[in-house]
């Protein structure tokens, strides 16, 4: 039985669709029971992050698996198939393996090499194991992808790109606000991107800096490393009231900065002459769009880049000379045969859009992922992808 990956991502799906399809940890027991009900699906892993919702499954065949996974997303998330048919894509057998390795290595991220995705892949696999939803095929696949993701970050320059993305976002804020040095700032979140943002704020001379997170221990740890202050989310309005710049990057499934909260912060702010600028680096949104309409403040976000500085996603090279894509095994999970080299077509060369100012929320400007196929066309499964019998996974 082969492996099928099916889902939507930031490349083609609007934020609203990603939000409606997102799974949380509380959804796992019921979701995995529903996923494994059909005879056509024997193993499964749900990967739900800020930028993608994907189902990896061991299926009886491409067409039956495609229909069952599509139906699963629709019924478990209570969303009609028509609402996500256009951005839906699928990857089958070797292509599914290649796709997961690309995701874990950070090649397929909004921000090339962003730090959270490898942790998210590892956590998704662990949750599927806890639900007894994986067997030998998906276990081998995910363990291999996690190893490749670690090597990509340890042996290539790919992990330098997230910092460049954060810097570009702050450049956007500076163009709107004027000089940032000496301005008080708040960082909402304490994960990888939030940590990069806090370090960049310190480097640019902003201060004082306050880190606010639902996990107060993590907020304190990050703040201590930067000689900053920390608070829990229950103090977010007070923190915003004392800031000129708020940078938010959490993994929350819903917005954490809403209109009411900002209105409270405005009242606490009193007669401070400057407004508050919100830079939202999260997907789903951390900042409600309605915040942009409030007087005395500004909102913006970097657009979604697919690559940085015109460099292709295959351009990050191993210190020993090989590209990131050379980190993966070249056969299906468990295969010892690397197989002959597979030609790479134009679809392997993806380019992204520039940074641009926008209303609150990350807005897509990257090119579409044309490797998968949507589920429109009367709800039928697209034709099974043609590929050589053997070939490199990430070759």
> Annotated active-site positions, please?
50
**Backbone phi and psi for residue 163, each to the nearest 5 degrees, phi listed first:** -60, -35
Query: What whole-number distance in Å separates Cα of residue 257 and Cα of residue 274?
Result: 19
Give strand ranges (E) for the chain: 3-9, 41-48, 52-59, 89-92, 185-188, 209-213, 229-232, 245-248, 276-280, 297-300
Structure tokens at 58: 């061991």
As given in the structure block, the two tokens for residue 276 are 């508050």
Q: How many residues does the chain have?
A: 395
Of 57, 49, 56, whose CA–CA distance to 25 is shortest?
Answer: 49
Cα-based torsion angle of the residue sequence 222, 224, 226, 231 in order, rounded to the nearest 10 degrees = 60
With a CB cutoff of 8 Å and minimum separation 6, the contacts of 317 are 156, 157, 323, 324
The whole-angstrom separation of Cα 20 and Cα 14 is 10
Token pair, residue 301, equals 């976000």
- Separation CA 44–CA 137 (nearest Å): 10
The distance from CA 203 to its chain's CA centroid, rounded to whole angstroms, is 25
Question: DSSP of 321-387, one letter per residue?
Answer: S-BGGGGS-SSSTT-----S-----GGG----PPP---SSS--B-SPP--SS--S-GGGPPPPPPP-
Is there a contact between 259 and 288 (Cβ–Cβ < 8 Å)? yes
The three-point CA angle 46-51-57 to 5° equals: 20
Give the C-alpha separation, 259 to 266, whole Å.
10
């Amino acid at each position: 039985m082969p492996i099928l990956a099916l889902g939507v991502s930031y490349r083609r799906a609007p934020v609203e669709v990603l939000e409606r399809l997102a799974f949380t940890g509380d959804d796992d027991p019921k979701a995995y029971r529903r996923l494994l009900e059909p005879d056509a699906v024997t193993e499964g892993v749900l990967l739900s992050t800020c930028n993608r919702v994907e189902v990896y499954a061991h299926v009886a065949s491409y067409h039956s698996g495609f229909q069952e996974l599509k139906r699963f997303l629709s019924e478990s998330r209570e969303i009609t198939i028509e609402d996500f048919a256009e951005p839906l894509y699928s990857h089958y057998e070797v292509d599914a393996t290649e796709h997961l390795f690309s995701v874990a290595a950070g090649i397929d991220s909004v921000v090339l090499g962003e730090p959270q995705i490898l942790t998210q892949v590892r956590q998704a696999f662990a949750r599927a194991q806890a639900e007894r939803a994986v067997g030998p095929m998906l276990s081998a696949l995910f363990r291999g992808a996690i190893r490749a993701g670690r090597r990509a970050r340890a042996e290539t320059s790919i992990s330098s790109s997230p910092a460049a993305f954060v810097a570009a976002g702050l450049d956007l804020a500076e163009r709107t606000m004027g000089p940032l040095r000496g301005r008080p700032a708040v960082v909402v979140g304490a994960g990888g991107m939030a940590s990069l943002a806090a370090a960049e704020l310190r480097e640019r001379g902003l201060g004082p800096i306050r880190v606010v997170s639902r996990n107060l221990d993590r907020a304190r740890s990050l703040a201590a490393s930067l000689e900053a202050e920390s608070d829990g989310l229950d103090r977010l309005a007070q923190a915003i009231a004392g800031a000129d710049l708020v940078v938010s990057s959490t993994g929350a499934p819903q917005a954490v900065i809403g209109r009411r909260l900002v209105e409270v912060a405005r009242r606490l702010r009193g007669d401070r002459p400057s407004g508050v600028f919100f830079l939202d680096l999260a997907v789903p949104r951390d900042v409600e769009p309605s915040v942009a309409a409030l007087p005395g403040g500004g909102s913006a976000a970097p657009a979604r880049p697919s690559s940085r500085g015109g460099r292709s996603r295959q351009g990050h090279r191993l210190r020993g000379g090989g590209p990131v894509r050379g980190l993966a095994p070249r056969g299906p999970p468990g295969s010892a045969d690397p197989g002959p080299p597979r030609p790479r077509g134009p679809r392997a060369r993806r380019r992204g859009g520039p940074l641009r100012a926008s209303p609150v929320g990350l807005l897509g400007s990257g090119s579409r992922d044309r490797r998968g196929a949507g589920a429109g066309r009367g709800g039928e499964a697209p034709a099974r992808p043609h590929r050589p019998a053997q070939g490199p996974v990430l070759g």
